[in-house]
Amino acid sequence: MLATNEIHHRKVSFLPDYPGLAEVLAKYRLEDGGTSFGCPRYVSLGVNGHYFIRSNSNSAWDLPRDIIEQPWWQGDKIKAVWLGMNDAWVVQLKNGATRKDLKGQYSNSGHLLREKIQTGFGTKRPGQRIKVCIVFA
């Protein structure tokens, strides 16, 4: 079991599928190979190059248009985004509220999703969180 404070460095090979994310990270790239964006606290990678990434001090995204056109959308108010098939999504706001549009997907998992929306998607169990920092090789 991994300790919650263990940090893993891994070569970033998924970036070609997320050109917007690659541009964001390149913008914050430091000479030592790290990034001034900060260690991501949350990363969500979806289909069609969509992503949401949040550190303690920054957030960046390329999300389906129907999310960012919602009247409640403000990037700095978003805690987490889960992206699914056919641009389905669930958004958790920092105030604890949850918004979703599953696009008719996941009908067999509806009960589990409703439970997670009520109880939260995160985990407090030791060993279930791994800190990840993106480092350019």
Query: pLDDT per residue over 51-68, tens digit each?
Result: 998 888 888 999 999 999
**pLDDT value at residue 38:** 75
Residue 125 reports pLDDT greater than 80: no
The fraction of the chain above a pLDDT of 90, given in percent, is 15
pLDDT mean over 90-118:
78
Beta 7-8 vs 131-132: how paired, if at all? parallel
Rounded Cα distance between 82 and 90, Å, is: 5
Looking at every residue in the chain, the average pLDDT score rounds to 74
67 or 10: which leads in pLDDT: 67
Q: Residue 131 has what pLDDT?
A: 41
Does position 27 have pLDDT exceeding 60, yes or no? yes
pTM of the shown model: 0.69
pLDDT given for residue 46 in this prediction: 87
